[in-house]
Amino acid sequence: MSTQAPIRRVTVPQIARRKGGEPIVSLTSYHAHTAAIVDEVADFILVGDSLGMVMHGMESTVGVPLDLMIMHGRAVVRGTKRALIVVDMPFGTYEESPSIAFRNAAKIMKETGCGAVKLEGGKRMAETIRFLTERGIPVMAHIGLTPQSSHVMGGFKTQGRDEESWPMHEEDARAVAEAGAFALVLEGMLEPLARRITDQVAIPTIGIGASAHCDGQILVLEDMLGLNPWTPKFVKVYGQLGDMIKQAVKSYAEEVRDRSFPGEDQVYR
């Protein structure tokens, strides 16, 4: 019998209770080994459908299939011990009806071992959020710039530039909070609007390009590591890993070509 107590993961109620308290730290991750590094600092890790663009070179998140989310979700759960793992529901797997959303969310939870799902949409998704949470599936909501609707929005556009649109976004936020979402991602939103929403809802808001006036922050890991060929303007790049990879690959290629590759050191023992 093991004498070591298992490390318990951060829970959904623990995240929900952080409203107005210690800021919530989160990052995306799609991969077991990077997730293990992120696990040391993040309260929750999102297996975002941004993986379609970041990992698989897609132009948007619209084409991401459910099986791909499950495969990456499983890898991240395997690589981590501590953080709450949230997996995105991809486009087309939840909008049609609450029961279809339940079937797909349950599949994600059973097959990955994650602790919650995330879906995009405000008021229009409130009924589905209530249906899922009442049946044991914790839901993180996501409003503002919702990439799965980029075709309707005409691209990835900052929301709230027009003050007349604020009541609509505020109504979206209140609707998902009242429906039972435990946290709310605010993406691509002007600061005064993000601040108003954060003040109005009882659940933590998690900003991405939505100012510091949120209860927590999330960034796409590859963006903040300088690993994306295109980094959104609002992202602070904390490490230039893209340049380090280029340099390492160049050094390796040079050593192979000029025969200075360390032969003895590179043998399986």
Q: Would you state the structure tokens that stand for residue 82, as one six-digit string?
A: 């501590």
Residue 224 touches ligand KIV, criterion: CB under 6 A: no
Q: Would you state the structure tokens that stand for residue 216, as one six-digit string?
A: 């927590």
Q: Which stretch binds ligand KIV (CB under 6 A): 41-49, 96-104, 223-231, 250-258?
A: 41-49
Question: Which DSSP helix (H) or strand (E) runs through 66?
Answer: helix 66-79
State the DSSP code for 233: T
CB nearer to ligand KIV: pick between 188 and 248: 188
For 103-228, strand residue ranges (E) read 116-120, 139-144, 183-187, 205-208, 216-219
Residue 185 touches ligand KIV, criterion: CB under 6 A: yes
C-alpha span between 144 and 189 (Å, rounded): 6
Residue 223 touches ligand KIV, criterion: CB under 6 A: no
For 48-115, strand residue ranges (E) read 84-88
The residue with its CB nearest to ligand KIV is 48
State the DSSP code for 26: E
C-alpha span between 224 and 238 (Å, rounded): 5
Residue 218 touches ligand KIV, criterion: CB under 6 A: yes
Residue 28 touches ligand KIV, criterion: CB under 6 A: yes
Q: Would you state the structure tokens that stand for residue 162, as one six-digit string?
A: 């027009």
C-alpha span between 213 and 167 (Å, rounded): 18
Supply the minimum distance, in Å, between the C-beta of residue 142 and ligand KIV: 6
Of positions 108, 181, 208, 221, contacts ligand KIV by CB under 6 A? 208
Burial (CB < 10 A; 0-12, 13-18, 19+), residue 205, is buried
CB nearer to ligand KIV: pick between 79 and 144: 144
Residue 179 touches ligand KIV, criterion: CB under 6 A: no
CB nearer to ligand KIV: pick between 104 and 250: 104
Q: Which stretch binds ligand KIV (CB under 6 A): 44-52, 100-108, 151-159, 162-170?
A: 44-52
Q: State which amino acid sits at residue 225.
A: L
* Residues from 46 through 65 that contact ligand KIV (CB under 6 A): 46, 48-50
What is residue 253's three-state secondary structure?
helix
CB nearer to ligand KIV: pick between 1 and 71: 71
Residue 188 touches ligand KIV, criterion: CB under 6 A: no
Does the active-site annotation cover 59? no
Sketch the per residue contact string, 106 through 145, with ligand KIV: x for CB under 6 A, - otherwise: ------------------------------------x---
* Residues from 66 through 105 that contact ligand KIV (CB under 6 A): 88
Smallest Cα–Cα separation from 51: which of 147, 154, 128? Answer: 147
CB-based contacts of 127, cutoff 8 Å, min separation 6: 98, 179
Supply the minimum distance, in Å, between the C-beta of residue 48 and ligand KIV: 2
Total of residues contacting ligand KIV (CB under 6 A): 12
Given a contact cutoff of 8 angstroms between Cβ atoms, the answer to whether 52 and 72 are in contact is no
Residues that bind ligand KIV (CB under 6 A): 28, 46, 48-50, 88, 142, 185, 187, 208, 218, 220
Catalytic residues: 187
